[in-house]
Amino acid sequence: MFGDPLVLALLVVTFFGGALINGLIGMGLALVAVNVMANVMEPKSAVVIMSLIAPFMSSYQLWHNWGLIAGWERLRSMILGSIVGSIVGAQLLVMLPAWAIALALGLFTAQFVIDRMRHERPALAHHTERRLAPLVGFVAGTTNSALGASGPVTGSYLLAIGMRGRDFVFGISIVFFVQALVRMGSLAVLGQYTLPLAQLSLVLVWPALLGQYLGQRYQGHVKPTVFQRVLLVVLFVSAANMLLQGGRGLVAWLGIGL
């Protein structure tokens, strides 16, 4: 399947386009890439491939916004929660069947699409922010390792506490970076990396880095709303397909168990 030139071309375009959106608004690559890959391969393999590419993307984005490093202290408890959640999520990825991952990914993505369509809300109070941070971090880390992306959880929380613009991009970058390192280490310990997956990751990281570079370069010249709408359409279609695949797998599993 990895040798199919049409599939490979689709993945190259997906990673370039997803990274372009990622460079413009700070997130989007993982959700787009994992959803598209999960339609042409086993969902678990899609998450593993993304885990090899994510450290390069998040470190590049973090370096680009390094001038805002002082803001990391506000996210300290969230990041600690993410570390624990990332370890737990890696275990879930290994244990869950493919249909369960597809269902969870479809529901997770559908929730993100619905949430992005809602109107702006007022920022959370500081005491609420402090209480929620470790829990949000844990959930984000778990979804990142088990489903391949944590943007919906992390992004929604950062918006809820009032982070916008470059502050938002820096905040999500440092969370993604920590999650990426912990997830990669956890999956390596669990023996999830194979040579074919590593080779495909090595091919796909280059269009992703190019898209990220262009997205960051034109961050102030292109309306992010245009790309966000495209992102939502792609994710809606992908979520529907994942739910269909997962539903079929669940029906088959129930049939076997009867």
- The burial class, CB within 10 Å (0-12 / 13-18 / 19+), for 182 is buried
Closest CA to 204 of 65, 41, 24, 95: 41
- C-alpha 194, offset from chain centre: 21
Residues of the chain with pLDDT under 50: 258
What whole-number distance in Å separates Cα of residue 233 and Cα of residue 227?
10
Taken as a whole, the chain contains a residue count of 258
pLDDT at 224: 62
Q: Give CA–CA dist 181/58, Å, rounded.
A: 10
Collapsing DSSP to helix, strand or coil, 62 comes out as helix
The domain containing residue 19 runs over which residues? Answer: 5-257
With contact defined as beta carbons under 8 Å apart, do 29 and 21 qualify? Answer: yes
Number of domains comprising the chain: 1
For residue 162, how far is the Cα from the chain centroid? 21
CA atoms within 13 A on the CB side of 208: 27
Please, are residues 173 and 69 in contact by the beta-carbon 8 Å criterion?
Answer: no
Rounded CA-CA distance 177/157 in Å is 17
Q: What pLDDT was estimated at residue 227?
A: 60
Identify the pLDDT of residue 258. Answer: 45
**pLDDT given at position 38:** 86
> What pLDDT was estimated at residue 231?
63
